[in-house]
Structure 1
Amino acid sequence: MPPILVIRPEPGASATVAAAARLGLGAFGFPLFEVVPLAWAPVEREDVDAVLLGSANALRHGGEELARYRGLPAYVVGVKTAEAARGAGLEVAGIAKGGLQSAMPCLQPGHRRLLRLAGRERVELSLPPGHTMTTREVYASRPRPVPPELAAVLEKPAVVLLHSGEAAAHFAAECARLSIDRSRIALACIGPRVEQRTGNHWLVVRSARTPEDAALLALAAEMCQDFPLGQDFHSGQDFPSGS
């Protein structure tokens, strides 16, 4: 079975590797991004009815200004972000699966002036009629070059997990820079938007059924089983890890 490589930033990389281990999958972390805070201008609390959070990174890196929004309702993506929101003193009004857009039909009456705390790269939202949204970029993912350890691993077949379009584009660019043969690499994408940014000439590219880490790992497991017979895989005994 080929190794599963996780290139998302920490702490997500370690979380995905741990989740894979619980499923009996051989996953290894090589984070190719570092999440860094951005300077941002807060919106006055009285001008905000509810906060939108697509990632817990907004809470990890938003800084002291987040305190002014304590007690406000928040619509978040995923259980982990919900836990972080509660820890920051927000009242979780809704937990979306797969993206903030799915939370839009669930906005409660009176939650019309929305504050989105987001990363530099994000999916644009379509708001319900009568709603407004102010966006503040509070963090960014800074790309890292493929380290020699990962380049060595990619000399043989592998399945690479892609959690964002930015990751897809960066990984493709790094493979081009290092002349890595794409034809032996399978890409498991968390959704079609990510798949659109992967480029060509990979062994196979597939998207998870739903944009969640659990579905992505299930897809990776399927792809490992589907690898052509006779492929020469790395042994898990001395596999280098960048995490």
Structure 2
Amino acid sequence: MKPLFLFRPEPGWSVSAQTARDMGLEVHGAPLFAIEAIEWDAPSPEDFDGLLVGSANVFRHGGKQLEKLTKLPVHVVGEATGDAARRAGFLVGRTGRGGLQNLLDELGERELRLLRLAGADRVTLRLPDTIKVETRTVYRAVPEQLGEEDRELLVTGGVVALHSGAAAERLKVEFDRHGLDRALVDLAVIGPRVAELAGEGWRSVHIAPAPGDSELLALAQALCQTDAQ
């Protein structure tokens, strides 16, 4: 069985790693970036109909400014982000399946003024004619290096599960910096955008059937157990 490498930031890394181990997988890797808060000011909630959020990191690192916005419904990219929103005292409006762009397109059925809370590195969105979006940056990802043990293991290949575009881009940087061979590594990615950002040259790239941790890890498990092409 091929080893599995995970590179998402905490606290997600530990959750995914334990899930993968429970599935019988040999897990390696570590977060390739740390998330830190950015100082920001919340605008008046009266100017908006809701919030648009694509990551649970918004609620982990948004700080006290979030308290000014709890009266607004939150439209979230997925269930995990919705759970984080509820824990932070927000009411969830719509929960997306298939990425933030799909969620925004669904919301385009009516006219809305949305406040997008996001990280410094974020997906560029195409706005429906009915929706206006203002953005506040509340956190950023600080790059970390690929550990020596992981570098030594990746020399002989394996499977890498990628939960985000940021992780995909960081992985490319580290592979190039250390002269690692992409052609020995199979990628399991959480969505088409992540596959695009991962670039070319990998042994194979496979997209999870739905953008969730369980679906991604099930895909990774299949790749670990087979000689994927």
TM-score (norm 1): 0.86
SS in structure 2 opposite 1:136? strand
1:169 Cα offset (Å) = 2.0
Q: Which amino acid aligns with 2:97?
A: K
Match of 1:48 in 2: 48
- 1:1-243 alignment to 2 at 5 Å? 1-107=1-107, 112-227=112-227
1:213 Cα offset (Å) = 1.7
For the Cα contact (< 8 Å) 1:49–1:110, is it kept in 2?
no
**How far apart, CA to CA, are the structure 2 residues paired with 1:24 and 1:47?**
50
Q: Which moved more, 1:63-72 or 1:195-204?
A: 195-204
For the Cα contact (< 8 Å) 1:188–1:216, is it kept in 2?
yes
1:145 Cα offset (Å) = 1.0
Give the aligned CA root-mean-square deviation in angstroms. 2.0
**How far apart, CA to CA, are the structure 2 residues paired with 1:102 and 1:222?**
27
For the Cα contact (< 8 Å) 2:162–2:188, is it kept in 1?
yes
For the Cα contact (< 8 Å) 2:108–2:129, is it kept in 1?
no
Alpha-carbon displacement from aligned partner over 1:174-227 (angstroms, at most 9, x marks no partner): 112111222222111212211222233322222222222222112212212222
1:135 Cα offset (Å) = 0.7
1:64 Cα offset (Å) = 0.8
Q: Which moved more, 1:92-101 or 1:133-142?
A: 92-101
For the Cα contact (< 8 Å) 1:55–1:77, is it kept in 2?
yes
1:91 Cα offset (Å) = 1.0
1:9 Cα offset (Å) = 0.6
SS in structure 1 opposite 2:197? coil
Q: Which runs of 4+ in 1 moved over 3 A?
A: 105-111
Alpha-carbon displacement from aligned partner over 1:88-135 (angstroms, at most 9, x marks no partner): 221111111232223235439877110010111222223333321111
For the structure 1 residues 112 and 205, does the alpha-carbon distance in structure 2 shift closer, same or farther, using more than 3 Å as the test? same
For the structure 1 residues 200 and 104, does the alpha-carbon distance in structure 2 shift closer, same or farther, using more than 3 Å as the test? closer
1:36 Cα offset (Å) = 0.9
For the structure 1 residues 134 and 158, does the alpha-carbon distance in structure 2 shift closer, same or farther, using more than 3 Å as the test? same
Match of 1:241 in 2: none
What stretches of structure 2 of length at least 5 have no aligned partner? none
**How far apart, CA to CA, are the structure 1 residues paired with 2:201 and 2:69?**
47
Match of 1:239 in 2: none
Higher helix share: 2
TM-score (norm 2): 0.90
**How far apart, CA to CA, are the structure 1 residues paired with 2:71 and 2:125?**
24
For the structure 1 residues 126 and 181, does the alpha-carbon distance in structure 2 shift closer, same or farther, using more than 3 Å as the test? closer
**How far apart, CA to CA, are the structure 1 residues paired with 2:117 and 2:175?**
32
Taking only the aligned residue pairs, the percentage that are identical comes to 43
What stretches of structure 1 of length at least 5 have no aligned partner? 229-243
